[in-house]
Amino acid sequence: MQTILIIGAGKSTTFLIDYLRKSATEKKRYIILADVSKDIAEKKLRGQENTLAAEINLKDPQSRRSLIEKSELVISMLPAFLHPIVAQDCLELGKHFFTASYESDELRKMKEAIDSKGLLFLNECGLDPGIDHMSAKQIIDREKAAGNEIISFKSYTGGVLAPESEDNPWKYKFTWNPRNVVLAGQGVSRYIENGEFKYIPYHMLFRRLEKISFQEVGDFDAYANRDSLVYRKIYEMDNIPTLLRGTLRRSGFCQSWDVFVQLGLTDDTFEMDLPNGFTKREFLNTFLPFHKEKSVESKLQQILPWLDMSIMEKIKWLGLFEKDALPKTKGSPASILQTILEDKWKLDPMDKDMIVMQHQFEVKTQKGIKKITSSLVCKGEDQEHTAMAKTVGLPLAIAVDMFLEGKIKAKGLMLPVIPSIYEPILSSLEKKGIIFQESEELIS
For the stretch 31-64, pLDDT in tens is 999 999 999 999 989 888 899 999 999 999 999 9
- Asked if 7 and 67 sit in the same domain, the reply is yes
- Output the domain CATH number for residue 6: 3.40.50.720
- Asked if 31 and 116 sit in the same domain, the reply is yes
Structural domain includes residue 379: yes
Which residues are bridge partners to 156 per DSSP? 246, 358
Sorting pLDDT into bands at 50, 70 and 90, what band is 294?
A: very high
- Output the domain CATH number for residue 250: 3.30.360.10
Burial of 291 (0-12, 13-18, 19+ CB in 10 A): exposed
- H helix or E strand, kind and range, residue 20: helix 14-22
- Asked if 180 and 38 sit in the same domain, the reply is no
- Asked if 152 and 218 sit in the same domain, the reply is yes
- Asked if 193 and 284 sit in the same domain, the reply is no
- Asked if 188 and 149 sit in the same domain, the reply is yes
The per-residue pLDDT for range 377-416, each reduced to its tens digit, is: 999 998 888 999 999 999 999 999 999 999 999 999 999 9
Supply the mean pLDDT for the chain: 94
Residues 416-441 have a mean pLDDT of 96
What is the SS3 assignment for 240?
A: coil
Pairing relationship of beta strands 73-76 and 149-161 according to DSSP bridges: unpaired
- Asked if 226 and 83 sit in the same domain, the reply is no
Q: How many Å apart are CA 221 and CA 229, to the nearest integer?
A: 21
Tell me which of 285, 305, 331 is where a domain ends.
Answer: 331
- Asked if 242 and 144 sit in the same domain, the reply is yes
Structural domain includes residue 380: yes
Q: How many Å apart are CA 435 and CA 431, to the nearest integer?
A: 8
Sorting pLDDT into bands at 50, 70 and 90, what band is 341?
A: very high
pLDDT at 46: 84
Q: 282: number of CA atoms within 13 Å, CB side? A: 14
Structural domain includes residue 186: yes
Q: How many domains does the chain have?
A: 3
Tell me which of 95, 123, 151 is where a domain ends.
Answer: 123
Structural domain includes residue 322: yes
Q: What is the 3-state secondary structure (H, E, C) of 101-139?
A: CCCCHHHHCCHHHHHHHCCEEECCCEECCEHHHHHHHHH
Q: Which of 99, 119, 131 is nearest to 13 (CA)?
A: 99
Structural domain includes residue 344: no
411, 385 in Cβ contact below 8 A?
no
- Asked if 197 and 72 sit in the same domain, the reply is no
Structural domain includes residue 429: no
- Asked if 24 and 115 sit in the same domain, the reply is yes
Q: How many Å apart are CA 56 and CA 202, to the nearest integer?
A: 37
Q: 31: number of CA atoms within 13 Å, CB side? A: 32
Backbone angles phi, psi at 207, to 5 degrees: -110, -15
Burial of 22 (0-12, 13-18, 19+ CB in 10 A): exposed
Helix 83-93 to helix 61-68 angle (10° resolution) is 50
Q: In the predicted model, is pLDDT for residue 69 greater than 90?
A: yes
Sorting pLDDT into bands at 50, 70 and 90, what band is 293?
A: confident
- Count other Cβ atoms within 10 Å, centred on residue 11: 18
- H helix or E strand, kind and range, residue 336: helix 333-344
pLDDT at 242: 97
What residue spans of 206-331 are helical by DSSP H?
A: 231-234, 253-263, 280-285, 296-303, 309-317
pLDDT at 430: 96
Burial of 191 (0-12, 13-18, 19+ CB in 10 A): buried
- Asked if 229 and 356 sit in the same domain, the reply is yes
- Asked if 160 and 64 sit in the same domain, the reply is no
The per-residue pLDDT for range 161-207, each reduced to its tens digit, is: 999 999 999 999 998 789 989 999 899 999 999 999 999 999 999 99
Q: Residue 47: give the domain boundaries.
A: 2-123
Structural domain includes residue 276: yes
Q: How many Å apart are CA 256 and CA 314, to the nearest integer?
A: 7
Tell me which of 99, 123, 147 is where a domain ends.
Answer: 123
Structural domain includes residue 407: no
Q: Which of 66, 71, 65, 74 is nearest to 30 (CA)?
A: 71
Q: How many Å apart are CA 439 and CA 16, to the nearest integer?
A: 31
